[in-house]
Structures are given as C-alpha cells and as structure tokens.
Structure 1
C-alpha cells in the first residue's frame, strides 16, 4: 500500500515548484492496518486435498498470532521507488468429517475413506512488492506514476493432524512445509487533489503471467488528509488477489478490506 506524499501547500506534492536540490531523494514511510477478509482455496501441504477458505476479518483476527504492514516510497525528480511489505502469522484449528483417502506426511500410510480428521494449521505469510518507475504526468492537478517490479511470496505451514478410523485407530502427525515464488508486476499510481489538504490516491498492479503464479493483481483506492509537511493519514480499501498452483501447492486466494494508514515524510 502506498500513501500520500505531503507538501507545504497541502497537496501530495508541488509538481510545478522547482525542488531545492533536484538530485536529492525524498522518502516516506507508512505503517498501516488492513482489516482484510480471506476467500479462496489452499492446500496445507504439497499434494494435499484442496480446502475452501472463507473468512471475514473477525475470523482472521480471531486466528491472528501477529503481523504487520508497511509501505515505503522514495522519489528523486521524476524517478520513484516503492516497497510494500506484509507479514501475517495465524493459527487455524478445525475439524473435518469423513474424507477421501489421502497420504499424510509423517504418518506413512493412507488415511482410509470415512476417517475423521482434526487439523491445526500454523501459517506464516510474507509478501514484498518491490517496484521502480517514472512520473509520466506531473502537474498541480494530477500526477501519474508508471512502475514495474516484482512481488515476492513466501508461505510456511506447520500442520498437526489427528486422524481417527477403526482401521487405523487414532494417529497424530506433524508436518511442516514452505514454498515461495516471485511474480513480475506492472503498476500505475495516481493522485488527484480534491482540496488544499484532501486528495484521492489510486493505484493498481497486475502480474504473475505464469512466471510465478498464474496471475496476481492488487488495487487500492484511498482518501488522504495532510496534517503538515511531514504527516498525513489515509483511509481506503485494498484488494490483493493471487492464483498459484504449481508443484502440488495451491494458494488461490483473495484478500480484501478497509485500510487505515499514517504517513511520515522525510
């Protein structure tokens, strides 16, 4: 997520004003909260049955162990850099009814049809979108940045499963796996001033193209309020979608919800 670049006049920047030092970098950091829900399908380990996921923000919050979201932007003249990083750790405990037979890592035998399965999944997700680009439109009424880069994904799951069936009695196994991939990205980012201190910020990216995931995209629309040269706040809505299915791993999910950020510029 990227947020407003504040300025003395209350606009995201003063595009027509000549900077004091055109070679100097300006930067900003935005820690933010993302009240995201989660929907889609995942496999907790390689070649495992694919499980449907449908969680509201309250469900995600109930499973949350910890996490954080931060965005960093830097600009020199018309050249821009962006880094958006998030980390989320959750524990999801649930029971499943009778399942088709499948092989569970750590048990060494196939769980027979009709077995009752209780599972606990500790998941960690790290995502970093790193991009660089150029400000193609730079006016007091509108700015537009075009960027390219990559989104790095790392998913780690620790699964504890207890299976019960007359043929196997009760067996418990633990298994940990992690997988990662990199998606190329193309993105745009725009600012539209509404008043001296209030402006609209919109950005979107698309990527994957089969190089990492089948496809991925994200979007953000936010309203920003500038308090001072260095401090601004924003509220908006963010969506992140990814469809990854490779090597027996499935991670096909959509995360979406409101965001609230506080930006410090230096």
Structure 2
C-alpha cells in the first residue's frame, strides 16, 4: 500500500470513528492530530551490503519530506476500559554526489508505525490516572538506494513489515491549582516474536484550555531491533534504530 492511501485511511478513522459513537454517554473520545519533529539514529543492513549508519535529524526530515501524517484516537468507557490507535509515517528522499564528481547516489526511506492498544485504568482520582495497557505495534519500513559510480549503476532495495506485541504503563497527574498536567508513558515489546526488542518512552505536559480542547507538549522516543532473512544473502534486512524528538499535539475531546 502506498503512503497516500495509508494516510487517507488513518485520517478517515480519526474523523469518523468518534462521530458514530460519541452519542453513547458511557464513552468519551479524544482525537489528536500531532506533529513530531524526530531524529532517526541507528544502523540498517540491506542484503549483502555492509551495515550503514542512519543519522537523520529534524532539519533533514523537513527538507526531504515527501509526505507524512501523524494522528491519534482514543476511546474510554466508564467501566475503566479503553483503547487507542496511533499512526504516523514519513516518506523521505535525498540525493547527492560522490567526492570529485565520481558519481551520484539517491535514497528513499519510508517508515510507518501503527500502534493499537487496550488499556485498563487501575487508578482514577480527581487529579490522577494510572493505566496499564497491552497491544500491538506494526512497523513498515522500506529503504531504496541507487548509486552510479564510474558508469556502473547499483541499486539496493530492501525493507519489511512486522508486528510486535508490547505492554506498558501510562501515568497522568494534574498539577496543583493549575490547568496543566504531567504525563509519563513507557512500554517494552518485541520479545523475539518479530523484533528482538522494542520500546517506547515519553514524557510531556498537557494544558487544558477547555472541556473540548487541550494542547500536549512532550518528547517521545521509540526504539526497535529487527532482522529478517539470512545474513550475507540478498534477502537480509536489519533495522536497529531509535526515532525520537519533541512532539506537539492538538487534542479534541468529545
């Protein structure tokens, strides 16, 4: 599936899901488009090629972004159970020249992450929420590199998609005499099911402007260590990276 249909499907979900269900007074809903200005650091191995380092900073992403989307939807039931879905992707491209004009190189990188969880609110007071959650995280990554050197053109295309289980905890504490609250979240996953190990850590604050709108500011990091295929063959793909950066979200409550 191309990145554009992915974004349209996710946007439709964010906009339409609450509309059909918000009338049920036992449910409350949050829809949050957000902006993450990330860096991607780590290593990638394509087929027989040597492991290469990845170091993409926010300025690189802004300059080289072809298409991107980030959004979040959450439903919470008065029974204490809830769910949320989070999806974001980046489609990047870049090109350059070898020293001395010996050749050129072009690279395309796509990374999409879809997270779906169910959570249980185990602590709920007027100023504190504590949730335990578990779910799945779907990674979709493709790397396409074409290099021309000395009249010879070489292309390496690799990537994979995989699903990891994960478990985690989320904490929210309203600051005294304030419309601000502190948010902490962390999870671990992979467990050798698909990736060897995966994790998420996030910290932030929320400003509640009204009953219908809040602003979230924070920092989030997601790491994954994944490999597929047989090392030393064209089928091999390894992706060991951390995607991290500041985040701003616009939360609409129904």
TM range (shorter): 0.7 to 0.9
SS of 1:62 mapped into structure 2: helix
> Aligned equivalents of 1:148 and 1:236: distance in 2?
22
Match of 1:202 among 175, 184, 208: 184
> Aligned equivalents of 1:61 and 1:151: distance in 2?
25
Larger Rg: 1
Matched, 1:139 2:125: yes
Mapping 1:1-266, distance limit 5 Å: 24-43=26-45, 45-77=46-78, 78-95=80-97, 118-164=104-150, 170-174=151-155, 176-194=157-175, 195-247=177-229, 248-266=236-254
1:145-169 Cα offsets, whole Å, 9 max, x none, are 10001100111233322132xxxxx
Unaligned runs of 5+ in 1: 1-20, 98-115, 165-169
> Aligned equivalents of 2:143 and 2:221: distance in 1?
23
Task: For residue 188 of structure 1, report the CA deviation from its aligned partner.
Answer: 0.9
> Aligned equivalents of 2:243 and 2:86: distance in 1?
15
TM-score scaled to structure 1, two decimals?
0.78
Q: Give the number of the structure with larger relative contact order, counting CA–CA contacts within 8 Å between residues 6 or more apart.
A: 1
> Aligned equivalents of 1:80 and 1:88: distance in 2?
28
1:40-65 Cα offsets, whole Å, 9 max, x none, are 1113x333321112232112222211
Task: For residue 86 of structure 1, report the CA deviation from its aligned partner.
Answer: 0.6
Instruction: List, as ranges, runs of 4+ consecutive aligned residues in structure 1 with deviation greater than 3 Å.
Output: 94-97, 173-178
> Aligned equivalents of 1:73 and 1:144: distance in 2?
15
With over 3 angstroms needed to count, the CA separation of the structure-2 counterparts of 1:160 and 1:190, relative to structure 1, is same
SS of 1:58 mapped into structure 2: helix
Query: Which of the two has greater helix per residue?
Result: 2
> Aligned equivalents of 1:210 and 1:157: distance in 2?
23
